Chains A and B, each alone.
Chain A
Amino acid sequence: MTTTSPLSRRLILQAGAATAVLGAPGLLLAQPKPIKIGLVHPVSGGLAYSGGQSRMGAQMAIDEINAAGGIKSMGGAKLEALLGDSQSRPEVGVSEVERMQQEGVSAYLGCFASGIALPATQAAAKYNTPFLIDVGASDLIVTRGLKNVFRFKPGFGACVDDAIVALGEINKAAGGVAKTAVLVHEESEFGTGTAKLLAGKLPGINIQPLETIKHANPTRDFSNVALRIKGLKPDLVIMSNYQNEYVLLARTLHQQKVDVAAMFSVLGGGFNFKLVQEQPDVALNMMDFNHWYNPRNPKAVDMRKRVEAKGGLFTFEVYLSYTSIMLYADALQRAGSADKEKAIAALESSTFSDHILPYGPTKFVNGQNQGGKGALLQASRTDINVVWPDQFAAAKPVFPRPKFS
């Protein structure tokens, strides 16, 4: 039995108290509130695949940021995904926006389809909540003067411009063999808008659009279209449609042995690794001007491996959503707060460049990133390669493609 001196007793008491305080979860090092991001994607209905891919990309980004310690300037605040389903319908998209507003989201990410993005962003505009557009080609999205809308990827206007430049350059390098083109597009906003712009700009690179063929969604059979194309004998077939029709059309043209300098698509819906896997003969040498990841970025390559290891496909929805979240996280970091005004200001002044896309530095003008750029892709027997612009290219373009005979 020993008597503890008053000094040591106080020490013990203090040590006990300190332990109690430190041990109590969250008391001393209070966890900052998570920042909620509402994901408004069409994960059911006709666009379910794209919706699912978008959601996956966003979640990968959120998980990555959280694993790396959250938003440092906000005390390590973590991001939290609120999963939404627009069911491929605009009304439901709007309902999801309102529901998430109730749950206190600081930002939205969505919507894949332009038709859903338009009303959804408007709903969010009422609260001045930043809305990141991951996919959504229509330029209407960013030309309504809504301050809360930010689209990181280029719209179809910019894509067409760059596609024209790319096509012009490779055509020139091949001696100008392509002089005529037939445009085939699907009947809604995306296809109609893209084809219209293309038809206007092709003459500028000495390619005459012979005809523009509009087709329905869905189209069950492209035999007549192939027939028409064969009759017109164009040097190029330029397609803008969604996945199913894209694949059917490509297969039909392949089967009918339509000889062209290139089957070229602008924002082709079906040009992906699956096409190369499932229909390698059809895919071979097809070209697409589209959103792509930077093949020279090791992080991107690693991400692709991870997605494929899980049996998934590394499609544009995945990395566009991923990057949009990264963009927002960067803005949060710089703003030091999830306050909407501050976040919007941070986005407006963003120069975010540490991303996996082949883009120049970020610069938003009226919510549209001027630095975004698509890439020209071409399918080989086993893979898809960037063939333009040179600084990201992994292979040389095969143009004109070998004839069927």
Chain B
Amino acid sequence: MNSVLQPIPWKLHLAVLAVAIAFPFVFPSNFMVNFGVLALFYAFIGQSWNIAGGFAGQLSFGHVAFFGVGAYASTIVQMRLGLSPWLGLPASALAGAAVGGIIAALSFRAGLKGSYFALITLAFAEVLRIVANSIGITGGGLGMLIPMKAGAGNFQFADRSGFYFLILALAVLSIALAEWLQRSRFGAHLAAIRENEDAARALGINVFVEKVKVMVLSGAIGGVGGCFFAQYFLYIDPLIVFGVDKSVEMLLVSMIGGAGTVYGPLVGALLLALVSDVTRVLTQIQGLSLVLYGSLLVVIIAFLPNGLIDLFRRRAKPAGEKD
């Protein structure tokens, strides 16, 4: 997929962080803060996909499975068990991680790769959706409504900026994780697996274990994303949190931005959120905004096969030169 990338200079990380922190102060309107929240949210769940799909080369079409179990886990903890909503965060991470582990263990034990792996994850997500639609604890088709009770203690912030800084923190964590993957041995193993699984195995890497580990990690992140979503929108149902649309979004932001790169999901999320908003505002004709969106996807892929990161990489200095 990608050749060895250069490490991102710390100054760049700090600059991006500074911009992100300043954003809600420079643009304090609810509209802009909401935009920021959604962009960071998609960057976060995109990173979940990116870790497995971009770094480890395990493309999946069913990442919404982790998102959905996270959303339900956190909502159930709050609504059915009556516990503090903040416990939803670890609950969703655990749930996502568990589902990630199970799907990975089953699929990789059976030797599934490439398109087959992608499709089986799709099927797992579907199974979860149907189950969520049919059992009592999730409310079945009726979904679950979280009563609006603003207050940090309830994991509901009266001001949107509360949610903004939370998702920013989560996004920072996900980016740090991606950075760590770039530099760590685990990440190197994943890169080797991505490039050539058999060669990696020959090098002594326990391919199965590493792949399961990455899916567990990816699942945990996806799960937390689901928890955030539930708290931000306060209503979930099987179609919203297990629908294939989210899987596509998670995949899209990463691939458009640059799969296997630290900032790919963020870049992709920003662009897609921007395009979505702009096309929606500019065109009032039914469907035209999505026509533009779809066309843009095709165009981007045509000219930037590695994703938008290509735009940045072209200006990057060759390896070896001092910054």
Interface residue? A98 (CB, 8 A): yes
**C-alpha spacing A118/B35, complex, angstroms:** 19
Q: Which residue in A90, A102, A118 is a CB contact (below 8 Å) of B145?
A: A118
**C-alpha spacing A119/B61, complex, angstroms:** 27
- Report the count of interface residues on B (CB-CB < 8 A): 32
**C-alpha spacing A119/B289, complex, angstroms:** 22
Decide: A115 and B235 in contact? CB cutoff 8 A: yes
Q: Which residue in A96, A144, A192 is a CB contact (below 8 Å) of B147?
A: A144
Decide: B233 and A43 in contact? CB cutoff 8 A: no
Interface residue? A257 (CB, 8 A): no
What is the 8 Å Cβ interface bit string for chain A, positions 102-119, against chain B (1 contact, 0 not)? 100000000000010011
Interface residue? A94 (CB, 8 A): yes
**C-alpha spacing A164/B107, complex, angstroms:** 51
Decide: B234 and A115 in contact? CB cutoff 8 A: no
Decide: A140 and B233 in contact? CB cutoff 8 A: no
Hey, which chain A residues are within 8 Å of B276, CB to CB?
Answer: 92
Q: Which residue in A43, A51, A52, A91 is a CB contact (below 8 Å) of B38?
A: A91
Hey, which chain B residues are within 8 Å of A214, CB to CB?
Answer: 141
What is the 8 Å Cβ interface bit string for chain B, positions 225-257, against chain A (1 contact, 0 not)? 000000001110111100001000000000000
Decide: B143 and A115 in contact? CB cutoff 8 A: yes
Chain A proximity of B298: nearest CB distance (Å): 18
Chain A proximity of B28: nearest CB distance (Å): 12
What is the 8 Å Cβ interface bit string for chain B, positions 160-179, against chain A (1 contact, 0 not)? 00000000000000000000
For residue A103, which residue of chain B has the nearest CB? B31
Interface centre among B140, B240, B277, B286 (most CB of A within 10 A): B286
**C-alpha spacing A187/B239, complex, angstroms:** 10
What is the 8 Å Cβ interface bit string for chain A, positions 122-152, against chain B (1 contact, 0 not)? 1001100000000000001000101000000
Q: Which A residues, 72 to 100, have Cβ-Cβ distances below 8 Å to chain B?
A: 83-85, 87, 89-92, 94-96, 98-99
Chain A proximity of B237: nearest CB distance (Å): 6
Decide: A99 and B281 in contact? CB cutoff 8 A: yes
Q: Which residue in A85, A90, A192, A216 is a CB contact (below 8 Å) of B280?
A: A85
Interface residue? B34 (CB, 8 A): yes
Chain A proximity of B45: nearest CB distance (Å): 12
**C-alpha spacing A262/B64, complex, angstroms:** 42
Decide: A98 and B30 in contact? CB cutoff 8 A: yes
Chain B proximity of A224: nearest CB distance (Å): 17
Given the interface pairs A89-B245, A188-B239, the reply to whether A94 lies near B233 with Cβ below 8 Å is: yes
- Report the count of interface residues on A (CB-CB < 8 A): 39
Hey, which chain A residues are within 8 Å of B286, CB to CB?
Answer: 43-44, 48, 51-52, 85
Decide: A48 and B287 in contact? CB cutoff 8 A: yes
Hey, which chain A residues are within 8 Å of B281, CB to CB?
Answer: 99
Chain A proximity of B85: nearest CB distance (Å): 16
For residue B235, which residue of chain A has the nearest CB? A118
Q: Which residue in A87, A90, A94 is a CB contact (below 8 Å) of B290?
A: A87
Decide: A191 and B141 in contact? CB cutoff 8 A: yes
Hey, which chain A residues are within 8 Å of B143, CB to CB?
Answer: 115, 188-189
For residue B285, which residue of chain A has the nearest CB? A43
Q: Which residue in B130, B142, B233, B239 is a CB contact (below 8 Å) of A192?
A: B142
Q: Which residue in A43, A95, A102 is a CB contact (below 8 Å) of B29?
A: A102
Chain A proximity of B243: nearest CB distance (Å): 9
**C-alpha spacing A388/B17, complex, angstroms:** 64
**C-alpha spacing A209/B236, complex, angstroms:** 30
Decide: A44 and B30 in contact? CB cutoff 8 A: no
Hey, which chain B residues are within 8 Å of A85, CB to CB?
Answer: 280, 286, 289
Q: Which A residues, 206 to 239, have Cβ-Cβ distances below 8 Å to chain B?
A: 214, 216-217
Decide: A144 and B280 in contact? CB cutoff 8 A: no
Decide: A95 and B277 in contact? CB cutoff 8 A: yes
**C-alpha spacing A189/B143, complex, angstroms:** 7
Interface residue? B295 (CB, 8 A): no
Given the interface pairs A89-B245, A90-B235, A119-B235, the reply to whether A192 lies near B30 with Cβ below 8 Å is: no
Hey, which chain A residues are within 8 Å of B148, CB to CB?
Answer: 122, 125, 144, 146
Given the interface pairs A95-B35, A144-B147, A189-B141, the reply to whether A90 lies near B30 with Cβ below 8 Å is: no
Chain A proximity of B64: nearest CB distance (Å): 13
Hey, which chain B residues are within 8 Å of A374, CB to CB?
Answer: none
Interface residue? A155 (CB, 8 A): no
Hey, which chain A residues are within 8 Å of B3, CB to CB?
Answer: none
Chain B proximity of A217: nearest CB distance (Å): 8
Hey, which chain B residues are within 8 Å of A191, CB to CB?
Answer: 141
**C-alpha spacing A52/B281, complex, angstroms:** 16
Decide: B233 and A90 in contact? CB cutoff 8 A: yes
Decide: A99 and B234 in contact? CB cutoff 8 A: no
Chain B proximity of A244: nearest CB distance (Å): 15
Interface residue? A38 (CB, 8 A): no
Hey, which chain B residues are within 8 Å of A95, CB to CB?
Answer: 31, 34-35, 38, 277
Chain A proximity of B245: nearest CB distance (Å): 7
**C-alpha spacing A140/B147, complex, angstroms:** 10
Chain B proximity of A128: nearest CB distance (Å): 13
Decide: B145 and A192 in contact? CB cutoff 8 A: no
**C-alpha spacing A193/B233, complex, angstroms:** 21
Decide: A99 and B277 in contact? CB cutoff 8 A: yes
Interface residue? A101 (CB, 8 A): yes
**C-alpha spacing A102/B32, complex, angstroms:** 9
Decide: A119 and B233 in contact? CB cutoff 8 A: yes
**C-alpha spacing A31/B239, complex, angstroms:** 47
For residue B30, which residue of chain A has the nearest CB? A98
Hey, which chain B residues are within 8 Å of A94, CB to CB?
Answer: 34, 233
**C-alpha spacing A146/B149, complex, angstroms:** 12
Hey, which chain A residues are within 8 Å of B58, CB to CB?
Answer: none
Decide: A193 and B142 in contact? CB cutoff 8 A: yes
Decide: A126 and B290 in contact? CB cutoff 8 A: no
Known interface pairs A87-B290, A126-B30, A187-B141; 17 further A-B residue pairs with C-beta atoms within 8 A, sorted by A's residue number: A44-B286, A52-B286, A89-B240, A90-B233, A95-B277, A98-B34, A99-B31, A102-B29, A115-B237, A118-B145, A118-B235, A140-B145, A144-B148, A188-B237, A188-B238, A189-B141, A189-B237
Top 3 closest pairs, chain A to chain B, by CB: A192-B141, A98-B31, A118-B235
10 A/B residue pairs, CB under 8 Å, sorted by A: A43-B286, A44-B287, A90-B235, A91-B233, A95-B35, A99-B31, A115-B240, A146-B148, A187-B133, A192-B142
Q: Which residues of A are interface residues toward B (Cβ below 8 A)?
A: 43-44, 48, 51-52, 83-85, 87, 89-92, 94-96, 98-99, 101-102, 115, 118-119, 122, 125-126, 140, 144, 146, 186-189, 191-193, 214, 216-217
Q: Which residues of B are interface residues toward A (Cβ below 8 A)?
A: 29-31, 34-35, 38, 130, 133, 140-143, 145, 147-148, 233-235, 237-240, 245, 276-277, 280-281, 284, 286-287, 289-290
